[in-house]
Amino acid sequence: MKNQLKFKKWQIQKAGMNHSTTDEAMKALIASETDLEEEMLSLKNQHDDIAFLIKKISVKLY
Q: Per residue in 40-53, pLDDT tens?
A: 999 999 999 999 99
The reported pLDDT for the residue numbered 46 is 95
Work out the pLDDT band at 4, boundaries 50, 70, 90. confident
The reply to whether the predicted model has a pTM over 0.75 is no
Q: How many residues does the chain have?
A: 62
Q: In whole angstroms, what is the distance from residue 62 CA to residue 47 CA?
A: 23
Q: Per residue in 7-48, pLDDT tens?
A: 777 777 776 666 556 777 778 888 888 888 999 999 999 999
